[in-house]
Amino acid sequence: MADGNRRLPPLNALRAFEVASRHLNFRLAAEELGVTQGAVAQQVRGLETSLGLKLFERHTRTLALTDVGRSYVGNISRAFELISDATEALKPEPRHLTISVTPTFASRWLIPRLPDFTEMHPDIGLRILATDRISNFQTDAVDLAVRYGRPPFGPGLIADLLYENVIVAVASPLLIEKLGPPTQPENLRHYALLHDAHDFWPQFLDVAFPAGVATSGKNIRFNQTSLAIEAAAAGQGLALASLFFVTDDLGSRRLVRPFTPELRVGADFYLVSPRKPRHPAAVLEVREWMSAAKAGRMG
């Protein structure tokens, strides 16, 4: 049975010895430990005195371990590793979740809100898979997804409405000041239409101009909605976007809505996850956070 009353060398002295043995220099050991060089030398001398053994040979600019010191430091290093491992084992395992979103949702909604998430949930590591491809929850190891469409999205999945897809036209206020309101057909002819992969402009123009309207024929096409939005903010033309993607830009007047009509296309944004997720508690926390972020209840 171990003797609970046996005396051990001071922990600080052992640490000073272990660090000095790696650097073979008291000054460098002191820098690592954040103490003075004299304090390290004193700790090591005290340890040698208590052991009655010489651990280092002192030279002018360096140290050298004695045979006893070399043997001793191997065991001491392993002991510190055991202490470190035991301490780490007390900490809860970090939880990692993969969330699949479109590139536009990632750049326009999720990334600006990530600092709030990491502050509220420092123990959850998010891996963001930004792709237009529909990710598979099993083969892609996806825990949560934001999907555009209409449920059901597949067997064994639950889907909650995150945002209704309300399509609005946006433009730079400086461009509108320059070319005039595009609601007037004679002005619309001067605007370039910025298209994304959804190409909602024909439907939108039918809603905005029931009697029909002629456009300039100038069209710029992007494969991502976020690029069309940025082009609109840069004054390159009129873009269509989901209202929730441009709410912040409208609030700051970086963009404005020149048209009152809105377009509903019958497909919305849903938060989707398996009914039996791999990490149920973490998935629930992320779902609740996203719902709160949507409602403006973050922080």
CB 260 within 8 A of CB 182: no
- pLDDT for position 90: 77
Q: For residue range 178-211, what is the model confidence (pLDDT) as tens digits?
A: 999 999 999 999 999 999 999 999 999 999 999 9
Strands 193-195 and 56-58: what pairing? unpaired
The whole-model pTM stands at 0.67
Instruction: Determine the Cα–Cα distance for residues 28 and 12; give it in Å rounded to an integer.
Output: 16
Q: Token pair of 16, please?
A: 């000073």
1 falls in which pLDDT band (50, 70, 90)? very low
Length of the chain: 299
Model confidence pLDDT, tens digit, residues 36-86? 999 999 999 999 999 999 999 999 889 999 999 999 999 999 999 999 888
pLDDT at 267 over 70: yes
Q: How far is CA 32 from CA 18, 69, 74, 286, 291, in A?
A: 11, 20, 19, 39, 46
Measured over the CA atoms of residue 110, residue 113, residue 118 and residue 121, the dihedral's sign is negative
pLDDT over 50 (residue 299):
no
Q: What is the pLDDT of residues 212-257, one digit of tens each?
A: 998 888 999 999 999 999 999 999 999 999 999 999 999 999 999 9
Q: Is a pLDDT exceeding 80 seen at residue 145? A: yes
What is the percent of the chain with per-residue pLDDT over 90, rounded to a whole number? 78
